[in-house]
A and B are shown apart, each in its own frame.
Chain A
Amino acid sequence: MIGYVVHRLLIMIPTLLAISLIVFVIIELPPGDYLESYVAELESQGESVDPKEIEFLRTQYGFDKPAYQRYLHWLVGMVQGDFGYSFEYRLPVSEVVGDRLVLTILISVATILFTWIIAFPIGLYSATHQYSWGDYGLTFIGLVGLATPNFLLALILLYLANVVFGTSIGGLMDPQFLDQPWSLDKVLSVLAHLWIPVVVIGTSGTAAMIRRLRANLLDELQKQYVVTARAKGLPEIRLLIKYPLRMAINFFVADIGSLLPSVISGAELVAIVLSLPTTGPILIAALQSQDMYLAGSFLMFLATLTVVGVLISDLVLAALDPRIRLQGGSTR
């Protein structure tokens, strides 16, 4: 087991390196840099810019160095916990990101839990009551959930909340807690607001999960060990819990890997619509204004979050299912 953990951790390093390279290339792709757009903006406002000052900034932030040196600088900085400097906010990136990243993680984790809690009983019901009206109804609702893009769902919810309740459901906490230090009241306020984005982001993932759980369970229910257990006279519920469900749990855990990227994607989009104080709105602003360190670090964080999530799911899976470990050891 320890060998497997070490192996998986070591594999993460080249993956993260490659991701950082891709991120760097993407944020370097647009022609020009932040300073150029900054100068253009100042000039359009009629202010004069001292070329010396620009030159000074240019050297200070390393814009005059070749690309590979900047990449190495960024990379080494990141490993040491220095994520660069946001030009737009005039703050170190880590300070801009801090709270927002925590909230993004919070929303993602809550969404995955929500997905499981909803998908598990429904998938179970659909599989055991195949082709019943309940199954058809739930499948249909699931398909509609799958087909509705989550940012539209957010929009529709916003509209309904506005029309029916006359309130705004945007944001992740009551306004008076903004920029306040964390306290119990603030936590409660966050929790009270959290369910909306969680439902919005979780819907499509839940629908997909239900469909896959149903298909998986249906396959398992056909197997001979189930027939044997039934022949032995095991009550239907115990039979279900004892054998096929255990198989289904493995698959649930394994699915984090595919669920997490889509949850984070969804979280970004929905955050923009609901104006949540997570990474979404800042990421898009940073991308548009070429605030490269900020945008790059965000992309890097999100990708790392996914990689770590997949790692956790792999480890849990290895702990749950002894067959996985053997395969992992021999094929890689």
Chain B
Amino acid sequence: MTDGPGTAAAAAVEHYVSTEPFDPRAIEALSPEQERYYLASQWRLMWWKLKRHRLAVISGGFLLAMYASILVSEVLAPYNLHTRHVDFIYAPPQSIHLFDKGRFVGPFVYGTTYRLNMENLKREYTENTKEVYPLRFFCSGDSYDFWGLTTARLHVVCPAAGGTLFILGTDRLGRDVLSRIIYGARISLTIGIIGITISFVLGLTIGGVAGYYGGWVDMVVQRLIEILQSFPQIPLWMALSAVLPVTWSPILIYFGITVILAMIDWTGLARAVRSKLLALREEEYCMAAQLMGARPGRIIGRHLMPGFMSHLIASATLSIPTMILGETALSFLGIGLRPPVTSWGVLLNEAQNINVVALYPWLILPAVPVVLIILAFSFFGDGLRDAADPYK
């Protein structure tokens, strides 16, 4: 037994002594990659995790592009928001062609001829292949007020002189639907952001106070949240927006609607904050801050909140779509925003009548960006939430 293979192998290895000086911490030392990972801030970690979620990154990029577009809506839209083409009322979408009778022209549209169908009084437009209108790019078209600063005429794309360019058709007053969708993004997208900001502040404050103090404050807030959540949202929004006086200016209505949306929405966030704070306020570092005489506001804001802020932001992202949908629904019913303010809901309001939709189906097209934005926010929010979750 003493002559086992182990002893034979051990005998074969020469006695070895390293000449390096002995470093007792050699095992603890981190490789540069490890160091980068372990010392990364919470936000950096979130970013790394988020980057791996392909769909979330794509959605985030899409959202970023959409939000960037509202800065330059005027330039992107081929027409001014209010330009009316009285000869082209309810004109159908014009398709963009590249070849005319086998000859390459570049992107162009054909002219249209108009005929009133006497049977159902439908306006019918047919393509007139004799007229070829090549598109112009980075050109001068309808004049507009750029953010109320200067008057300009530059557009990314405009129709040929004398021609028209209705990629998504025109509406009841002969206004270009595509241009109106591009302008509508401005209102529809910001209403979600402003709304969520208000609701975030409300949720943090109310939930924070309830969670930190507990006791009867918590009790009252809990009941309030329960009551608000037991209201069906849309009827409540409807009732509140019916309260807004008709005499208000459109911009005031806009803020009114935003506040209404936020007033109902904060409850979920407040709940999350409250339950987190209830647990965190028992921690030692919180006690330490109290002993050092920090006021409640500072303890909540400086010591407790940052711990789960990332998670809160992620869940707030997920409730932006609800707000966008809420505004769209209200405006669609005609009790939200009112023209001349243009949001996707206001545009859809024209599609409320089924007879109109049956004859002129392109009026439902503003629904497409609504669905896309909501999908993008859901994917992005999902990715963000996963990234913010330290246990995953």
Contact = CB atoms under 8 A, between A and B. Distances in A.
B300 to A, nearest CB: 23
Interface stretch (A40-48, A152-160, A233-241, A317-325): A152-160
A168 B232 CA distance: 29
B231 A148 contact: no
Contacts of B378: 143, 146-147
B233 interface: yes
A93 to B, nearest CB: 16
Contacts of A284: 238, 242, 333, 335
A266 B238 CA distance: 12
A42 B348 CA distance: 33
Nearest to A28: B243
A299 interface: yes
Contacts of A269: 234, 329, 333
Nearest to A146: B378
A273 B367 CA distance: 15
B221 to A, nearest CB: 13
Nearest to B375: A147
Contacts of B358: 159, 162-163
Given A152-B364, A159-B358, A284-B238, A261 B335 contact: no
A149 B230 contact: no
A112 interface: no
A295 B230 contact: no
A149 B329 contact: yes
B9 to A, nearest CB: 40
A130 to B, nearest CB: 16
B336 to A, nearest CB: 12
Given A155-B357, A159-B354, A303 B239 contact: no
Nearest to B330: A269
Contacts of B332: 151
A302 B235 contact: yes
A162 B379 CA distance: 34
Nearest to A17: B227
Contacts of A91: none
A284 B328 CA distance: 16
B98 interface: no
Contacts of B235: 264-265, 268, 283, 298-299, 302
A287 B357 contact: no
A272 B353 CA distance: 11
B323 interface: no
Contacts of A147: 321, 371, 374-375, 378
B370 interface: yes
Contacts of B375: 143-144, 147
A15 interface: yes
A18 B223 contact: yes
Contacts of B374: 146-147, 149
B283 interface: no
A56 to B, nearest CB: 28
A39 B226 CA distance: 40
B233 A262 contact: yes
B321 A26 contact: no
A268 B231 contact: no
A307 B351 CA distance: 34
Contacts of B367: 148-149, 152, 155-156
A14 B378 CA distance: 36
Interface class of chain A by DSSP = helix
B239 A19 contact: no
Interface string B360-386: 010010010011001100110000000
A288 B242 contact: yes
B290 interface: no
Of A156, A158, A159, A295, chain B has the most CB atoms within 10 Å of the CB of A159
Given A30-B242, A30-B245, A147-B378, A19 B227 contact: yes
A170 interface: yes
A297 B333 CA distance: 21
B240 interface: yes
Interface string A254-271: 000000011011101100
A26 B239 contact: yes
A265 B223 CA distance: 21
A298 B332 CA distance: 21
Contact of B243 (A30, A159, A298): A30
Contact of A15 (B223, B233, B243, B352): B223
Nearest to A288: B242
Contacts of A29: 243
A108 to B, nearest CB: 10
A277 B364 CA distance: 24
Of B229, B230, B328, B358, chain A has the most CB atoms within 10 Å of the CB of B230
B361 A302 contact: no
A288 B335 CA distance: 8
Of A149, A151, A262, A269, chain B has the most CB atoms within 10 Å of the CB of A149
A155 B329 CA distance: 12
B240 A26 contact: yes
A18 B227 contact: yes
Contacts of A26: 236, 239-240, 243
B139 interface: no
A22 B227 contact: yes
B27 to A, nearest CB: 33
A311 to B, nearest CB: 10
A205 to B, nearest CB: 13
Contacts of B333: 269, 272, 284
16 contacts: A14-B223, A18-B223, A26-B240, A149-B370, A155-B351, A162-B358, A265-B232, A268-B232, A269-B329, A283-B238, A284-B333, A288-B335, A295-B239, A299-B231, A303-B231, A306-B231
Given A15-B226, A143-B378, 12 more contacts: A14-B223, A22-B227, A27-B239, A31-B245, A151-B329, A152-B348, A152-B370, A155-B357, A155-B364, A158-B357, A268-B234, A310-B230
Interface of B: 223-224, 226-227, 229-236, 238-240, 242-243, 245, 321, 325, 328-329, 332-333, 335, 348, 351-352, 354, 357-358, 361, 364, 367, 370-371, 374-375, 378-379
Interface of A: 14-15, 18-19, 22-23, 26-27, 29-31, 143-144, 146-149, 151-152, 155-156, 158-159, 162-163, 168, 170, 261-262, 264-266, 268-269, 272-273, 283-284, 287-288, 295, 298-299, 302-303, 306-307, 310
Q: Which 3 pairs of residues, A with B, have the shortest CB-CB distance?
A: A265-B234, A287-B242, A264-B232
